[in-house]
Amino acid sequence: MYYGPDKANVYRFFRDHRNISIVPGTSAYSAAAAKRLAEIMKPYNVNATIVGLDQANKARPLTDEQALTWAGNQAAGTLNAEARGNAKIVGYNLPGPTVLIGNAGDNPLIAFLQERKVLPYTLTADFPGGGNGMIAWNIQTLGHDIESIALIGNDAEGINEAVGTAFRFGVGIDPLTPLELPAASSMTVPAKVADR
């Protein structure tokens, strides 16, 4: 499951960014899927670093100068120490383009995307459902200039489906442009039949 325009966004994400982070959820199948995605993207010149939640689920460190004028997810202007330590205000500790793997129950960054209502479809215990995955592209919600892709599933099969589909989109196996007939066309009989 994915929102239509996100297919092109996923393709562009993997073509534009040659160094990405992958943040898996706490489940064993999320960790295995992160390793799988990193391996299958290597031949396509995409270098992936797996980042643990212990690092990613923190506030982005800001310098004193940045804190004076920072405009984050829910902040603008001078930030006090408490605000600077809140990832939901200043953004998460992500170095750049990031792929999130898991679901709202095992990955707090996916839970934050759901809380902010930026996922194309609402996640529930039954959706995307057993064996089904969902792909969601986003920019800016996790932090300033942070582009992300969430690969979401409620079980190992669903996560594997999301990883496989993201790979297909990312390397352009599926055509990006739909096959549509022209609005107008005509046929003309040749003046001379070609010799065989």
Q: What is the pLDDT of residues 119-153, one digit of tens each?
A: 999 988 888 989 999 999 999 999 988 999 999 99
Is 81 among the domain residues?
A: no
pLDDT exceeds cutoff 80 at 195: no
Q: What is the pLDDT of residue 61?
A: 92
**pLDDT band at residue 177 using 50, 70 and 90 as cut-offs:** low
Containing domain of residue 114, as a range? 6-57+92-170
Neighbours of 50 (CB within 10 A): 15
29 in any annotated domain: yes
Say if CB 134 and CB 10 are below 8 A apart. Answer: no
* DSSP structural state of residue 61: P
Q: Which residues pair with 153 in a beta bridge?
A: 133
Q: How far apart are CA 99 and CA 48, in angstroms?
A: 9
Q: Is 113 exposed, middle or buried (0-12, 13-18, 19+ CB in 10 A)?
A: buried
pLDDT tens readout for residues 33-60: 999 999 999 999 999 999 999 999 999 9
The verdict on residue 83 lying in a domain is no
Phi, psi of 121 (to 5 degrees): -135, 145
**Any domain includes 112:** yes
CA dihedral for 60, 66, 67, 72, sign (positive or negative): negative
- Count of domains observed in the chain: 1
The answer to whether position 69 is within a domain reads no
At 13, list the tokens. Answer: 């994400």
Write the CATH number for 50.
3.30.379.10
Query: Which pLDDT score, from 0 to 100, does residue 53 have?
Result: 97
Helical (H) or strand (E) element with 6:
helix 6-16
CB distance 107 to 22 below 8 Å: no
pTM of the model: 0.85
Interatomic CA distance for residues 13 and 27, integer angstroms: 25
Torsion, Cα 145 98 136 134, to 10 degrees, reads -170
**C-alpha–C-alpha distance, residues 133 and 151, integer Å:** 7
Is residue 108 in some structural domain?
A: yes
Q: Does residue 18 form part of some domain? A: yes
Query: Strand, coil or helix: what is 139?
Result: strand
In a domain, 63, yes or no: no
Question: Residue holding tokens 């992300």?
Answer: 148
